[in-house]
Amino acid sequence: MVAGILIPLHQLRQIYELIFRDGTLVAIKNRKPNSFHPELPGITNLQVTCTMRSLKSRGLVRETYCWRHHYWYLTNEGIAYVRDYLHLPPEIVPATLRRTAPIMRGVAAAKQPAATRGRGRGVRDDDQPATPFQHLSFLVNLGQRSRSRSPKN
Where do the domains of the chain lie?
Answer: 9-97
Tell me the pTM. Answer: 0.60
For every one of its 153 residues, what pLDDT tens digit does the chain have, with 9 covering 90 and above? 565 678 888 889 999 998 888 888 888 887 777 788 888 888 888 888 888 889 999 999 999 988 888 899 999 999 899 899 989 888 887 877 777 767 766 655 556 565 555 555 555 555 555 565 555 555 555 555 555 555 655
Instruction: Label residue 88 exposed, middle or buried (CB < 10 Å: 0-12, 13-18, 19+).
Output: middle
pLDDT of residue 105: 66
Give the phi and the psi of residue 58 in degrees, each rounded to 5: -90, 0
Distances (CA, A) of 152 to 92, 147, 148, 149: 84, 10, 9, 9
DSSP single-letter state for residue 129: B
- As a whole number of angstroms, the distance between CA 142 and CA 145 comes to 5
Dihedral angle of Cα 103, 106, 108, 112, to the nearest 10 degrees: 100
Q: Return the number of other C-beta atoms located less than 10 Å from residue 138's C-beta.
A: 9
pLDDT of residue 60: 92
pLDDT of residue 62: 92
pLDDT of residue 135: 56
Domain range 9-97, CATH architecture: Orthogonal Bundle (1.10)
All residues at 6 or more sequence positions from 140 whose CB lies less than 8 Å from its CB, including other chains: none
pLDDT of residue 139: 56
pLDDT of residue 25: 87
